Chain A
Amino acid sequence: DTGVSQDPRHKITKRGQNVTFRCDPISEHNRLYWYRQTLGQGPEFLTYFQNEAQLEKSRLLSDRFSAERPKGSFSTLEIQRTEQGDSAMYLCASSPRGGLAGVSNEQFFGPGTRLTVL
């Protein structure tokens, strides 16, 4: 499968625990995005990277959340001291660098990691 992959697909944790998710983008894509989706809602932007640089973080991303993309390839999203309100689907997407002639803006989504905080 050459699409975006995410691991794990499901995570159940107790409140107060730390969790880490991984995203592997499509190999030639240099942009990587994290979104959060709750039931019945559209995805909400969390943060994005261009290569290894984290260029923007949403105000939704509290200081308990941190994301990295150390070598400009895979990315990790860590949530510290999880709360029940963190329960959601965490989606990763990747895209080529857009805005260039002939380059698609399309963001390709991974299957998501469903987090349940008990």
Chain B
Amino acid sequence: GENVEQHPSTLSVQEGDSAVIKCTYSDSASNYFPWYKQELGKRPQLIIDIRSNVGEKKDQRIAVTLNKTAKHFSLHITETQPEDSAVYFCAAGFGAAGNKLTFGGGTRVLVKP
């Protein structure tokens, strides 16, 4: 089955700096890669996703890049703000298999003011 590795497990940045989280996946059939943000005690919420036919996607301060050959994808947050502090999860899914998601272990991001 699919296996998703996520690094780093914790990330501390100064407000205004950039944050980068990296994930690798094992199943070359995976074709959907969402990123979720989970604040303490809250449900995971999608912040951005990318399909395998696209190499990069951007939404304001958030961008995701995908390298299918190397089977890795990354989340980039620019101009970080204290409200970006949360746990971020990457995931991989395969549309023909119902898009069940395999999640990485999470990255706890702390943005210091």
Contacts and interface: CB of A to CB of B under 8 A. Distances in A.
Interface of A: 31, 33, 35, 40-45, 48, 50, 55-56, 91, 95, 98-99, 105-112
Contact of B98 (A31, A35, A42): A31
A43 B98 contact: no
Contacts of B32: 98, 105
The dominant DSSP class at the B interface is strand
Contacts, number: 63
B44 A33 contact: no
Interface in B35-84: 36, 42-46, 49, 51
Interface residues of B, number: 27
B25 interface: no
A48 B106 contact: no
Contacts of B100: 33, 45, 48, 56
Interface in B84-113: 89, 91, 93, 95-106
Given A42-B89, A98-B32, A105 B95 contact: yes
Nearest to A106: B46
A56 B97 contact: yes
A98 B95 contact: yes
